Amino acid sequence: MPKIVLVGSGRIACHLGKRLKAKGLPVSQVLSRTASHARALAETLQADWSDDWSEVLPDADWLLLAIRDDVIDDVAALLAPHVPDTLATHTSGGTPGSVLSPFFRRYGVFYPLQTFSMERSPVWSKIPFCVDATLEADRLFLIKIAKTISNLVYRVTDEQRAQLHMAAVFANNFANHCFSIAEKILAEKDLPFEMLHPLMEETLAKALHNSPGKMQTGPAVRGDADTIDRHLKLLEQHPEWQDLYKKISDSIRVAFSNLK
């Protein structure tokens, strides 16, 4: 049974800690900068806790850093002198694993590709896990643990993960921003956003079952300049959305002409 130290007590730490425990891989210690957060999570996980990095369990097998991206190196620097030979991984999609290399000989990444919030329970079996480590034995260890958590486990290098994370911004953050604009546009005319739900569901279903590039519809694909002009006129009060509409339409036009 590996001795797991969970570093951090935010969304990922809470969800991952609970899942590990449920799968018979209990966290031994929660380390986090805010004592009350560390204690609360440790109580849930029935683990030890500390807000003092120097109290990291000296015989820890795995440090799972689930902390803000921009402090991973600072916290690693504080932990490493106490457990220099322990495997350390972070959970970030946008941060190279090599950020840990100045501090740990054995390092890697344990990145769940999903958006998490406290209010929603993750469907772990369907969450792709992207794992990697410098040493093969550590990589196999991480893959084994990831497979107990999820059915979708991939070995993904730093270079691949950087690209994957950026693609996820298009698929998730940008798509959601467009949903948000659509909601506001409807609200201006007292129309409920729910009216768009079936269309959104069908768009997603089609994109999941086919190559989305082949499923593109709308005025930009049809080359319907009159409709595009009317829409741009309707957006005159919202120059930012108008600009976005133009740029996305241009991008669709280029993609479609490349397909022909």
Ligand X SMILES: NC(=O)c1ccc[n+]([C@@H]2O[C@H](COP(=O)([O-])OP(=O)(O)OC[C@H]3O[C@@H](n4cnc5c(N)ncnc54)[C@H](OP(=O)(O)O)[C@@H]3O)[C@@H](O)[C@H]2O)c1
Residue nearest to ligand X (CB): 10
Taking the complex as a whole, the smallest distance from the CB of residue 244 to ligand X amounts, in Å, to: 24
Specify the residue, 16 or 220, whose C-beta has the smaller distance to ligand X.
16
Could you list the beta-strand ranges (E) of the chain.
Answer: 4-7, 27-31, 48-50, 62-65, 87-90, 107-112, 129-133, 153-155
Is residue 53 within 8 Å of 82, Cβ to Cβ?
A: yes
- CA 155, 158, 160, 165 torsion: positive or negative? positive
* 159 CB-side CA count, 13 A: 0
Q: State whether the Cα torsion 79-85-87-93 is positive or negative.
A: positive
The verdict on 160 binding ligand X (CB under 6 A) reads no
User: Cα–Cα distance between 86 and 80 in angstroms, integer?
Assistant: 8
Stretch that binds ligand X, among 87-95, 140-148, 168-176, 199-207 (CB under 6 A): 87-95
- Can you tell me which of 18, 33, 82, 139 binds ligand X, judged by CB under 6 A? 33
Nearest approach in angstroms of CB 171 to ligand X is 14
Strand partners of residue 11 = none
Taking CB under 6 A as the criterion, the residue among 5, 6, 45, 75 binding ligand X is 75
Please state the closest distance from residue 215 (CB atom) to ligand X, in A. 27
Q: By CB under 6 A, name the one of 116, 154, 193, 256 that touches ligand X.
A: 116
66 binds ligand X (CB under 6 A): yes
Told to check if 11 binds ligand X by CB under 6 A, we report yes
Angle at 72 between CA 67 and CA 73, to 5 degrees: 165
Contact status: 9 vs ligand X (CB under 6 A):
yes
Cβ distance 1 to 25 under 8 Å? yes
- CA 68 to CA 237: how far, in whole Å? 37
Nearest to 255 by CA among 204, 200, 218: 218
Find the binding residues for ligand X in span 91-110 (CB under 6 A): 91-93
Among residues 67 and 88, whose Cβ is nearest to ligand X? 67
Q: Counting contacts by CB under 6 A, is residue 112 touching ligand X?
A: yes
The reply on whether position 17 binds ligand X by CB under 6 A is no
8 binds ligand X (CB under 6 A): yes
Number of residues that bind ligand X (CB under 6 A): 24
For residue 6, state whether it binds ligand X (rule: CB under 6 A). Answer: no
**Does residue 16 bind ligand X (CB under 6 A)?**
no
Q: Does residue 69 touch ligand X according to CB under 6 A? A: yes
Burial of 192 (C-beta count, 10 Å sphere; 0-12/13-18/19+) = exposed
Stretch of residues binding ligand X (CB under 6 A), selected from 32-40, 81-89, 101-109, 144-152? 32-40
The residue ranges that bind ligand X (CB under 6 A) are: 8-13, 32-34, 37, 66-69, 71, 75, 90-93, 111-112, 115-116
